[in-house]
């Protein structure tokens, strides 16, 4: 069992690799945004396009069971500290940093999906002229957007002053950039990064 700093238990999402609807088989529909981004980043790394990795979250192991000398099983662990964003790396000599979030909501993206420490980190990256954004997925619509951090920061500041607690999808469509999902890479977000920064 792994726990977050607030004591909540970590639950790994179950993956359903094949769903059938009528005569169509939808392979990997249960893949998470994180899985797709990890595959995309492996594609970029294997072809020497970019070096982007998911940041590991440090954990503190509390209880380990040793059923055999060669097979230890972690029974209880806690996340040591709140993490910053999900991914960082280097692309064309520039620092790249982004967070990935998904929602089943169809009309807006809840700001509660983000945490203060993530917003603070993104703000610091923007101040240092790093490339910083969020990848937002509307999972029920199968739409993925690259949304630059400075747009998110404006919405966050507005929420802190009593404004909306979500970003309307229309604003994400207007200010964000729809990423056409592909096969290799699955989420070609660097095409958008090229258009915006290079």
Report whether 180 belongs to an annotated binding site: no
Helix axes 149-160, 116-127, angle to 10 degrees: 130
Report whether 85 belongs to an annotated binding site: no
Report whether 46 belongs to an annotated binding site: no
Report whether 84 belongs to an annotated binding site: yes
- Give CA–CA dist 190/92, Å, rounded: 11
> What is the three-class DSSP state of 36?
helix
> How far, CA to CA in Å, does 28 sit from each of 14, 35, 80, 96?
12, 10, 32, 27
> How far, CA to CA in Å, does 2 sit from each of 6, 141, 151, 167?
11, 31, 33, 31
> What is the three-class DSSP state of 76?
strand
DSSP-assigned beta bridge partners for residue 9:
3
Binding-site sequence positions for Mg(2+): 84, 86, 99, 118
Binding-site sequence positions: 84, 86, 99, 118
């Amino acid at each position: 069992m792994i726990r977050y700093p607030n004591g909540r238990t970590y639950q790994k999402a179950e993956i359903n690799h094949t769903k059938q609807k009528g005569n169509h088989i939808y392979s990997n529909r249960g893949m998470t945004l994180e899985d797709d981004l990890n595959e995309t980043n492996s594609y970029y790394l294997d072809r020497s396009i970019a070096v982007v990795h998911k940041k590991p979250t440090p954990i503190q192991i509390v209880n380990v069971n040793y059923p055999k000398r060669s097979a230890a099983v972690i029974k209880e662990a806690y996340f040591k500290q709140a993490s910053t964003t999900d991914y960082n790396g280097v692309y064309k000599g520039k620092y790249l940093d982004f967070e990935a979030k998904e929602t089943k909501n169809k009309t807006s993206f809840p700001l509660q999906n983000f945490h203060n420490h993530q917003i603070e980190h993104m703000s610091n990256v923007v101040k240092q002229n790093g490339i910083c954004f969020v990848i937002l997925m509307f999972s029920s619509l199968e739409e993925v957007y690259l949304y630059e951090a400075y747009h998110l920061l404006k919405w966050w500041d507005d929420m802190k002053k009593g404004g909306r607690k979500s970003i309307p999808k229309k604003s994400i469509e207007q200010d964000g950039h729809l990423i056409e999902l592909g096969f290799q890479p699955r989420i070609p977000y660097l095409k958008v990064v090229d258009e915006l920064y290079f």
